Structure 1
Amino acid sequence: MIDIALSIEEPWPALDWDELATRSARAAIQLTPHGELLTVAAAIEISMRLTTDDEVQTLNRQYRGKDKPTNVLSFPMVEPDLLETVTGNSDDGEVLLGDIVLAHGVCATEAAARGIDLQTHATHLIVHGTLHLLGYDHIDEREADAMEAIETGALGQLGIADPYLIDED
């Protein structure tokens, strides 16, 4: 079972972010070899924070050495190859998969530049962030292609067009 612990700060608009975050994370997980996380008895928790550019810039500087805001940060708490062991041996039936943090200003600016709404772009970034929590990355081209394929598949299931095609136009 996936449980999203969500906190929302201004200036994020009032929307059903809980439902959006849950659907986005589930769609991403379902298309990976970790799809069984959706049905295990343990509660698989993702902590998600929708916040300001300033807060994300602070986190980006502190944890990545980059003194600027970015659209999404992900902080995995479990090594992907240990997920099966951890979920089966959880003392309290809960496993914190990790944290995802989105910066409002960066996300809103990117969405406007792409001609899409904030909710659609946030969905993409939550899918992207969830994949990072599962160990996916885009450091080299092969990993980036694999991650992008899962992202586009998950977004397609959610009724969202391939964002990488939009970027190329």
Structure 2
Amino acid sequence: MEPLVEILTEDARWEAFGLEPIAEQAARVTLEALGLDPSGYSISLLCCNDARIATLNEDFRGKPQPTNVLSWPSEERGADKDGGAPERPEPGMPGMPEELGDIAIAWETCEREAGEQGKQMRDHVTHLLVHGTLHLLGYDHIREKDAALMEGLESRILASMGLQDPYE
């Protein structure tokens, strides 16, 4: 089976952490929860450090500081109406999956947040990758009803994986 998530690792701590199966599971479970067949899609994941993600955050969002995760959907899929369902991407053909977009995740911020929140790093990273995958699928949390929809999905997806609700 082709991997759903193609990983580029710039920080060796991610390799030692064993991110690949975590990323694969988070993306698969998210797509399946939305009724999408993971074999029709692909995601690119950059595993980096705070310095790299701060540069990306400044370049793409005008915010010159590190963040935990960033997402770049391959196309705009967001709903026009606040709280509406985003446009569903069509799957690619066998051997040519539809590219959903790119995610970047930063080691130091994830590690710090997990410690501050009293969570296992694995659980926090899983949440952030579910969150990033939902962004690639057009979900967002800027408008109030969109945020409620996205957070509700995150909570249900994480519960299906045996993980605590991050919004409790």
Q: State the TM-score, normalized to the length of structure 1.
A: 0.84
Higher helix share: 1
Aligned residues: 157
Change over 3 Å in CA distance of 1:13–1:3 after alignment to 2: closer
Instruction: Indicate conservation of the 8 Å contact 1:2/1:37, yes or no.
Output: no
Q: 1:62 and 1:110 mapped to 2: Cα distance?
A: 23
- Describe the superposition over 1:68-90 as per-residue Cα deviations: whole angstroms up to 9, x where unpaired: 01010000003333722xx35x6
1:36 is paired with a residue of what secondary structure?
coil
Aligned partner of residue 148 in structure 1, secondary structure? helix
Matched, 1:51 2:53: no
Which blocks of at least 5 consecutive residues in structure 2 are unaligned? 78-86
Query: CA–CA distance in 1 between the matches of 2:97 and 2:30?
Result: 20
- What whole-Å deviation, never above 9, does each CA across 1:119-139 have from its counterpart, x for those lacking one? 111000000000000000000
Deviations 1:52-102 (A, max 9, x none): 000000000001111001010000003333722xx35x6972321111111
SS in 2 for 1:78: coil
Which residue is 2:81 aligned to? none
CA contact (8 A) 1:57 1:70 kept: yes
Once residues 52 and 70 of structure 2 are traced to their aligned partners in structure 1, the CA distance between those partners, rounded to angstroms, is 11
In the alignment, the residues of structure 1 paired with residue 33 and residue 65 of structure 2 have an alpha-carbon distance, to the nearest angstrom, of: 32
1:73 aligned residue (70, 74, 91): 70
Contact 2:88 2:137 (8 Å CA) reproduced: no
In structure 2, the residue matched to 1:36 is 36
Distance 1:91 1:4 in 2: 16
1:163 to 2:166 alignment: yes
Gapped regions of structure 1 (runs ≥ 5): none
The answer on whether the counterparts of 2:4 and 2:28 sit within 8 Å (CA) in structure 1 is no
Pick from 60, 63, 74 the counterpart of residue 63 of structure 1: 60
User: Which amino acid letter does the alignment assign opposite residue 36 of structure 2?
Assistant: E
Q: How does 1:43-122 map to 2 (within 5 A)?
A: 44-80=41-77, 81=87, 83-84=89-90, 87=91, 93-122=96-125
1:75 and 1:112 map into 2 onto residues whose CA distance is: 27
Query: Residue 23 of structure 1 aligns with which residue?
Result: 25
Alpha-carbon RMSD across the aligned residues, in angstroms, is: 2.0
Distance 1:119 1:138 in 2: 23
